[in-house]
C-alpha cells in the first residue's frame, strides 16, 4: 500500500494541506497565510499536520514554498511572496510535530506532481510553465528538479526573451514574465486600446475576455494575443533547445483562456526551435493536477528524499 | 586502476581519437573528417580504435558527435556539421571492432569532461558555453546531460535572447549564437566600421583584435564588445534563472580574447538574474579541458552508460 505523506503548499494568500497517498489527497484543509509572521505560520501548519497525522497515521511531511529553498537544511533562504528571509521552517515543524519534513520550492513541487502523476507521467524530463499573474516555472531533469547543491530556485519565468526589453517586476528587463503573464497580456491590450477602439473598449480585461474578442476577430485582441503567443513560444523554444525535454506542461489561467491555445503555442514553438526537422517532437500538454499539484508535489518530494 | 576507454571526438573538419584513463589521454590521433562518407568515417575510426585497443587493452568506446544523437540505438539522427541523417554508427563500429560503443552529442561530451575532471569538478549541475564560430552549449543536470528519452541534443546556443531579432544560421531569429558568437562580434564590428573610423579600420578582424582595440579605448570596439557581453550575459542569466546551476563554464576563442573577460561577464550576469540578493552564487569559470574535452567526455559517457 502507498505510504501516506502530508503535503503542505504554502502560498502568498493561502496555505493548503492534505494527506497524500499516490495522487489522491485526503482531508484537505486551507487557511489564509498569516502574513510573514513565521512563528504563526509554523504553528498553524503544525496544528493541521498533527490533526491529519492522527487521522491517517502519516509520519512524513513535504513542504512546497515559494522562493529560494535550502532543502538540505530545510531552510527558506528567501521568499518574496511571504516576505521572509532565512527561516528554518523544517526544524520549526519538527519541534511542533515530531515529524521529519522536506521542503522544496513550490514551482518545482508542481512540476514533480505533473511528472509523477499528471501530464508528464512516464517522462524523464519535463518543464512546466504556469501562466497566471506571473509566469511560474518548474522542471524535473533526470529524475529531480535542478538545484545548486540542494538549494532550489525555479525562476524560468524570468528567462530573458528580449534583452533590453520591457521592465519586469524582478527589476531586470525582457523577462518572459513581462510578456507572457496574464498581467502582461492585459497591460499590452490596454496600451493598444488607447490608440484604437475595439470590442474590448470599456470592458474589464482578463485573459479570457481578450481571447474571446480575438476569436471574434477583434483587431486589438488579435495583435495582443499574437504578440503574447510569439513571446511565450520564444521562451518555450529556448528551453527546448537547451534541455530537449520530452514534454512541456502549461498551467495557470491563460492556458485555459483560448480555444486551441495549446495547439497554437505548439505550432509557433515548432517554427522557432533549432532542429526544425524534429518539430513533431515538441509536445505541449495542459497541466492535469489542478489545485492539488502543490500538495501532491511536496509529498512526492518528501518521499523521494526519504529514499535517498 | 582506472579502466581505459577509447574516446572519439567527431568534428566537422577532423576526428580525434585517444585512449582515456581518468582525465589523461594517451596515443592521441587526429585525421581529417572524410566528408559525409559514412562508410569511410566508420572505417577510419575503427582502424584507429583497433590500433589503440591493441596498445592499451581498451574494450569500450565512447563517441562524441555533433547533432541529434539517439544514444539508445547508437544512431546519429541528424548531424548538420557532418551532413548525415540516420546513421547507425555504433553498430558500424561494433561490426568493425567487436567493441561496444556509446554515443552522445559533442557539446554534452565536453560538458561531461568539465564536470568530471575540469572546471565543474565536484558539482552536480553545470552548463558550458563554447564561444567560437558558433555558440556551443552542453550541460550536466543531476548527474547526466538532459535528454529526451535517450536522444540527445544540446542547442543552448540557440536560446532566444531577442524575440524577432537578428537572423540566425539555424533559420530562427534572435538566438544567442546570433549575438554571442565570434562571428556575430566580428559582423557587428564591421557594420559599425562602415559608419565610424576606428583603430580597427582596415584590419583583419577577429575576437582578439577587437578586444585589444576595446582595451585601448577604441569607441567602435567598445560599443561592439559592450553589446556582445550584454547579450551573452542575458543568455547566461536566463539559464541561471531556469536551472540554477552551481557553475557555468566558458570555452572557445572568445573566452580567451579579453582581459578579465570572465569577470566582466560575471558582473553583467549578476545584474540580470532574478534573485539579485543571490548574486554571489553566480560562478563562471574558464574551461580547463582544452582540446581533449571531446575525447575525455565521450569516454566518461561510455563508462557511465556501461555502469547503468
Nearest to B149 among A161, A170, A246 (CB): A246
pLDDT of B82 reads 83
CB contact under 8 A, A155 and B231: no
**E strands of chain B, at which residues?**
5-10, 14-21, 24-32, 60-65, 68-70, 75-79, 84-87, 100-105, 126-131, 135-140, 151-152, 247-251, 284-286
Q: How far apart are CA B182 and CA A209, in angstroms?
A: 46
Q: Looking at chain B, which residue has its C-alpha nearest residue A179?
A: B163
Per-residue pLDDT band for A82 (boundaries 50, 70, 90) equals confident
Instruction: Provide the 8-state DSSP code for B308.
Output: -
Give percent of chain B above pLDDT 70.
100
Q: Report the residue of chain A nearest B142, measured CA to CA.
A: A142
Find the CB nearest A146 among B78, B142, B156. Answer: B142
Q: Are A158 and B231 inside 8 Å of each other by CB? A: no
* pLDDT greater than 80 at residue B275: yes
For the segment B52-106, what is each residue's pLDDT rounded down to a tens digit? 999 999 999 999 999 999 999 999 998 877 888 999 999 999 999 999 999 999 9
Q: Give the list of residues 6+ apart from residue A79 with CB closer than 8 angstroms, or none.
A: A65, A66, A67, A68, A85
Q: What is the ipTM of this complex?
A: 0.95
Q: Which residues pair with B139 in a beta bridge?
A: B127
The closest CB to that of A272, out of B142, B149, B160, belongs to B160
User: B219 CB contacts (<8 Å, ≥6 apart)?
Assistant: B196, B198
Q: To the nearest whole angstrom, how far is the Cα of B273 from the nearest Cα of chain A?
A: 7
Q: Do B242 and A139 touch (CB under 8 A)?
A: yes
Q: If pLDDT is split at 50, 70 and 90, which confidence band does B259 have? A: confident
Buried residues in A252-270 as b, exposed as e (16+ CB within 10 A): bebbbbbeebbebbbebbb
Q: Find the CB nearest A275 among B153, B159, B246.
A: B153
Label residue A52 by pLDDT band (50, 70, 90). very high
Query: Which of B151, B159, B234 minimises the CB distance to A242?
Result: B159
How far away is chain A from the Cα of B231, in angstroms, using its nearest Cα?
7
| Contact between A230 and B273 using a beta-carbon 8 Å cutoff | no
pLDDT score of B276: 86
Residue A99 in this model has a pLDDT that exceeds 90: yes
> For residue B84, what are the β-bridge partners?
B79
The whole-angstrom separation of Cα A154 and Cα A166 is: 21
Place of cell 474578442: A213
| Mean pLDDT taken over chain A | 95
* Neighboring chain A residues of B141 at a CB cutoff of 8 Å: 141-142, 146, 243
Residues of chain A contacting residue B144, judged by C-beta atoms under 8 Å apart: 142
The answer to whether A194 touches A212, Cβ cutoff 8 Å, is no
Q: Best mutation site among B159, B166, B177 for testing chain A: the one with the most A CBs within 10 Å?
A: B159
Cα dihedral B299, B301, B304, B308 in deg (nearest 10): -130
Q: How far is A48 from chain B (nearest CA, A)?
A: 32
pLDDT band at B1 (very low <50, low <70, confident <90, very high): low
- Which string of b and e fits B196-227 if b means at least 16 CB within 10 Å? eebbbeeeebbbebbbbbbeeebebbbbbbeb
Q: Which of B67, B86, B123, B244 to mutate to test the interface with A (most CBs of A within 10 A)?
A: B244
Q: How many A/B residue pairs have CB atoms within 8 Å?
A: 174
Amino acid at each position: 500500500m502507498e505510504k501516506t505523506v502530508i503535503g503542505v503548499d504554502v502560498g502568498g494568500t493561502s496555505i493548503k494541506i492534505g494527506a497524500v497517498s499516490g495522487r489522491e489527497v485526503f482531508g484537505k484543509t486551507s487557511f489564509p497565510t498569516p502574513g510573514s509572521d513565521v512563528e504563526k505560520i509554523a504553528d498553524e501548519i503544525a496544528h493541521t499536520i498533527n490533526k491529519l497525522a492522527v487521522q491517517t497515521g502519516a509520519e512524513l511531511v513535504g513542504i512546497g514554498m515559494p522562493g529560494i529553498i535550502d532543502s538540505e537544511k530545510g531552510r527558506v533562504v528567501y521568499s518574496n511572496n511571504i516576505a521572509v528571509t532565512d527561516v528554518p521552517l523544517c526544524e520549526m515543524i519538527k519541534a511542533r510535530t515530531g515529524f521529519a519534513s522536506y521542503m522544496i520550492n513550490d514551482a518545482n513541487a508542481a512540476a514533480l506532481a505533473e511528472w509523477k502523476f499528471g501530464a508528464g507521467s512516464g517522462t524523464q524530463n519535463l518543464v512546466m510553465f504556469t501562466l497566471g499573474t506571473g509566469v511560474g516555472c518548474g522542471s524535473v531533469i533526470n529524475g529531480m528538479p535542478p538545484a545548486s547543491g540542494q538549494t532550489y530556485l525555479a525562476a524560468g519565468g524570468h528567462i530573458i526573451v528580449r534583452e533590453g526589453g520591457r521592465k519586469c517586476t524582478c527589476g531586470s528587463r525582457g523577462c518572459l514574465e513581462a510578456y507572457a503573464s496574464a498581467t502582461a497580456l492585459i497591460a499590452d491590450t490596454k496600451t493598444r486600446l488607447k490608440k484604437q477602439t475595439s470590442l474590448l473598449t470599456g470592458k474589464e480585461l482578463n485573459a479570457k475576455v481578450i481571447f474571446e474578442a480575438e476569436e471574434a476577430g477583434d483587431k486589438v485582441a488579435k495583435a495582443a494575443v499574437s504578440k503574447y503567443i510569439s513571446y511565450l513560444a520564444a521562451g518555450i523554444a529556448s528551453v527546448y533547445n537547451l534541455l530537449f525535454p520530452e514534454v512541456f506542461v502549461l498551467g495557470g489561467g491563460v492556458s485555459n483562456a483560448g480555444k486551441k491555445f495549446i495547439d497554437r503555442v505548439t505550432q509557433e514553438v515548432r517554427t522557432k526551435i533549432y532542429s526544425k526537422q524534429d518539430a513533431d517532437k515538441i509536445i505541449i500538454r495542459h497541466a492535469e493536477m489542478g489545485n492539488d499539484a502543490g500538495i501532491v508535489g511536496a509529498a512526492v518530494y518528501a518521499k523521494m528524499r526519504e529514499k535517498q
